[in-house]
Homo-oligomer: A and B are copies of this chain.
Amino acid sequence: MPRRASATGQRVNGAGWLPKNLSVAKLQESLIAGKKAPLAKLASIVRFRKGTTIYRAGAAADTFYIIISGTVAAFQYAREKKHIAAFLYAGDLFGAADQGRYSIATMALTPVVAYAVPSSVLRMPLPEIADLHFYLVAKICDQLHQARHHALILAQLHSHTKVAMFLQMQKTLQALRGDRSAEIHLSMTRSNIAEYIGISLAALSRAFGTLKRRRIITYRGRRSVQIINAKAFQKLAGEPKSGTRFSVMPWQRPDLGRALRH
């Protein structure tokens, strides 16, 4: 267990996080800025209203998307039950094709604004493409990490542990997106969380209730949670260590961000 300095103090803010190659962070920043967007010439901007199915699994994948704002869920069905594989936020990318077909369905959980990029542009020899490729790869690695952490959550025995780990994860992701507030904002419903965590809605509700009664978390309304007792919370969720660090790079590439940044 080597140095995990950053893990102890929740100091997982956007800056200072990527020692050498904060290029992805910068790329992301400029992508979700939206103004005079770098992708403007390659992509169009699309909107989805809450609840829209963006695409179904197996549909022809001619487009991929980069979220500018809003929350998207990637989901699939297993044995008649919906299972959410990932929540996607601003800067996240989805719709990478498998054999020209989408491998998993997606829907908008909130109103969503996104770039729609034709898959074909990835085969174009433009200079912008190199960075886009790199961004794509970095983001997919991100997704892999998150998926593995998701598996870790799903493997937990008790529902309140799952909930705590889930909240931990959302908090970390939120911090990475630059939100430094103490509150955890949940852009999905309880049902969504239950489908992600792999427990029944009833069990989820009880778990939330338990955590609140034990004065570990509070919430007013259903979309904003706050951790009151950090120590007890950590004991449940485990410290946010390796598996919780979600910004990944498959290989180093300290230079970057030429084309996309402008």
- The oligomer's copy count stands at 2
List which A18-67 residues lie within 8 A (CB) of chain B.
Answer: 18-19, 56-60
| CB atoms of A151 and B145 under 8 A apart | no
Q: How far is the CB of A168 from chain B (nearest CB, A)?
A: 12
Within the complex, which residue of B101, B103, B198 is in contact with A145, where a contact is CB–CB below 8 Å? B103
Q: Is A222 an interface residue (CB 8 A)?
A: no
Q: Is A202 an interface residue (CB 8 A)?
A: no
Within the complex, which residue of B57, B79, B143 is in contact with A144, where a contact is CB–CB below 8 Å? B143
Q: Is A253 an interface residue (CB 8 A)?
A: yes
Within the complex, which residue of B3, B18, B248 is in contact with A103, where a contact is CB–CB below 8 Å? B248
Q: Is A187 an interface residue (CB 8 A)?
A: no
| CB atoms of A252 and B104 under 8 A apart | no
Chain B residues, Cβ within 8 Å of A224 = none
| CB atoms of B251 and A103 under 8 A apart | no
Q: How far is the CB of A59 from chain B (nearest CB, A)?
A: 7
A86 to B198, CA, bound (A): 19
| CB atoms of A252 and B123 under 8 A apart | yes
| CB atoms of B251 and A96 under 8 A apart | yes
List which A69-91 residues lie within 8 A (CB) of chain B.
Answer: 76, 78-79, 83, 85-86
List which A220-262 residues lie within 8 A (CB) of chain B.
Answer: 238, 242-243, 245, 247-253
| CB atoms of B154 and A242 under 8 A apart | no
Within the complex, which residue of B152, B156, B251 is in contact with A122, where a contact is CB–CB below 8 Å? B251
| CB atoms of B155 and A83 under 8 A apart | yes
- A8-16, A133-141, A178-186, A210-218: which lies at the interface: A133-141
Mark A residues whose CB is within 8 Å of B.
1-4, 18-19, 56-60, 76, 78-79, 83, 85-86, 96-101, 103-104, 119, 122-123, 136-137, 140-141, 143-145, 147-148, 150-152, 154-156, 161, 198, 238, 242-243, 245, 247-253
Question: Please, could you name 11 A-B residue pairs with CB atoms under 8 Å apart, sorted by A?
Answer: A1-B58, A76-B148, A86-B148, A96-B250, A97-B250, A98-B248, A103-B145, A119-B251, A144-B147, A147-B150, A151-B154
